[in-house]
Amino acid sequence: MNFQQLRIIRETVRCQFNLTEVANTLFTSQSGVSRHIRDLEDEIGVELFVRRGKRLLGLTEPGVEVARLVERMLLDAAGIKAVGREFDDQDAGELVVATTHTQARYALPSVVTRFKQRYPKVRLVLQQGSPDEIVARLLSGEADIGIATESLATEPELVSFPYYSWHHALIVPPGHPLLDIGKLTLADIAAWPLVTYHEGFTGRAHIDAAFAAADLDMQLVLAALDADVIKTYVELGLGVGIIASMAYIPERDAPLERIEVDHLFPENLTRIALRSRRYQRGYAYRFLELCSAELVEAQVRSAIHETSS
């Protein structure tokens, strides 16, 4: 068994069992890929892939378990290399944070600013994507830290921690009739065309659940991935908007007015997650501590260790 065989198993799964793509990704030949797979299967005594002729169609039952172990082994190997890099230069390297637009735009600027002041030689990369994409990047090792409201807490291979809680807010153009109502009801909002987040983003599930529980239909005219787009179309008169409350900045969003609706929608919790068993550079823990004083390094390390045992 060797690392090239392990890399081939991982890439075969990632490339949807297309051995031509695997060969191109690893800069080798397709025949070499097939030979390495057969050699590993012969060594461990089980077939890892379902085959039709020379084509691979998927993983066998033992193949699923082996693929999971291979992913962990390669991550652990990357961690060993990272240990050497850290002790070679503890204040230089790269930190990849995968997050949504809302977090990158409204929650992280002060954290990023303080982190870069402290670690000017660290290349900080913010990868924006959907919660499911964030999970995938953490599991593949492409990202070190993930920040999102959805998906992170339900993935067993991740260790997640509370970051901060927040509510939704309603935004309307100046002079809108909803501004004259004292305490809004969901029925008041349902009477107007609505612009809000796309499904799976920024607490959208809580919005849907609230309207469903009240047996009300949303007049959804536009679903967007980020608050800036929602605000733009509310300002243009397309409808009223529901956004994360921290996405409304009075001095920047003066053409719009915010109405508090904490009583209508449940509280949301944004979480920070890391891959279990994955080695983290020291500055990754400093980034977490800048996000939340409760995320002290010893506790985070302990949680990762407990999850992996």
| pLDDT score of 192 more than 60 | yes
190 and 253 in one domain? yes
Question: CA distances (Å), 207 to each of 55, 58, 129, 151, 304, in order?
Answer: 45, 38, 21, 16, 33
Task: Please give the average per-residue pLDDT across 246-274, as a whole number.
Answer: 94
256 and 173 in one domain? yes
Identify which of 60-64, 182-186, 302-306 has the greatest average pLDDT: 182-186
| pLDDT score of 80 more than 70 | no
Distance CA(4)–CA(279), nearest Å, equals 21
Q: Which residue has the higher pLDDT, 307 or 153?
A: 153
Task: Please give the average per-residue pLDDT across 195-207, as a whole number.
Answer: 95
151 and 285 in one domain? yes
Phi, psi of 133 (to 5 degrees): -65, -35
Phi, psi of 214 (to 5 degrees): -90, 5
> Sheet holding 219-224: strands in order across?
219-224, 193-197, 240-244, 168-172, 257-260
196 and 112 in one domain? no
262 and 173 in one domain? yes
The parent domain of residue 202 ranges over: 168-266
Distance CA(204)–CA(223), nearest Å, equals 10
172 and 260 in one domain? yes
CATH number at residue 12: 1.10.10.10
**Local confidence band at 83 (pLDDT 50, 70, 90 cut-offs):** low
The 10s digit of each residue's pLDDT in 174-189 is 999 999 998 999 999 9
Q: Which residue has the higher pLDDT, 62 or 109?
A: 109
Would residue 84 count as lying in a domain? no
Predicted TM-score of the model (pTM): 0.72
How is residue 9 annotated by DSSP? Answer: H
**Local confidence band at 61 (pLDDT 50, 70, 90 cut-offs):** confident
Would residue 155 count as lying in a domain? yes
121 and 194 in one domain? no
| pLDDT score of 85 more than 70 | no
> Sheet holding 158-166: strands in order across?
122-128, 93-99, 145-148, 268-275, 158-166
| pLDDT score of 89 more than 60 | no
Specify the amino acid at residue 22: V
CATH number at residue 233: 3.40.190.10
The secondary structure of 31-54 as a DSSP string is HHHHHHHHHHHHHHTS--EEEETT
Domain edge (last residue) among 38, 73, 108: 73
